[in-house]
């Protein structure tokens, strides 16, 4: 069975550009969460979606947005990229939309903003 898949795996963008990151959850999982991890820190929660509805939002600016599609895949969009947006972006899927269940992470998208 396929795990959580993210694309692309690596990405280089310039300041001011826009980026879209994609995530496909494990089959049967209806919840997708997005995290940002900078070097030396733990993952920081950005968004959680369950059944195509936003269920949680972390402390990130409005430049960050996301959505979940009918097949439960998800996109994370970041506008007006800043150098500080350089990080590993992780997607996690879980069976249900509450945080008490195990989350399975994808391998991440490593974004570099230059």
Partner 1 sequence: RKEVEQDPGPFNVPEGATVAFNCTYSNSASQSFFWYRQDCRKEPKLLMSVYSSGNEDGRFTAQLNRASQYISLLIRDSKLSDSATYLCVVNGGGGSYIPTFGRGTSLIVHP
Which residue ranges make up the site for partner 1 (CB under 8 A)?
33, 35, 40-45, 48, 55-56, 58, 90, 97-100, 102-108
Which CB sits closer to partner 1, 5 or 65?
5
As measured in angstroms, the least distance from the Cβ of 37 to partner 1 is: 8
As measured in angstroms, the least distance from the Cβ of 16 to partner 1 is: 28
Pairing mode of beta strands 87-94, 104-105: antiparallel
As measured in angstroms, the least distance from the Cβ of 104 to partner 1 is: 8
Which CB sits closer to partner 1, 52 or 55?
55
Could you tell me the two tokens for 97? Answer: 């939309």
Burial 19-35 (b: 16+ CB within 10 A, else e): bebbbbbbeebbbbbbb
CB of 25 closer than 8 Å to CB of 52: no
Which CB sits closer to partner 1, 18 or 59?
59
CA 7 to CA 84: how far, in whole Å? 21
């Amino acid at each position: 069975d396929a795990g959580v898949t993210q694309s692309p795996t690596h990405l280089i963008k310039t300041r001011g550009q826009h980026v879209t990151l994609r995530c496909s959850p494990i089959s049967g999982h209806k919840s997708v969460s997005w995290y940002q991890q900078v070097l030396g820190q733990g993952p920081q929660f950005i968004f959680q979606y369950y059944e195509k509805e936003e269920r949680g939002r972390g402390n990130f600016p409005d430049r960050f947005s996301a959505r979940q599609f009918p097949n439960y895949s998800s996109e994370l969009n970041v506008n007006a990229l800043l150098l500080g947006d350089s990080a590993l972006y992780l997607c996690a899927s879980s069976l249900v939309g509450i945080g008490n269940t195990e989350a399975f992470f994808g391998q991440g998208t490593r974004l570099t903003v230059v």
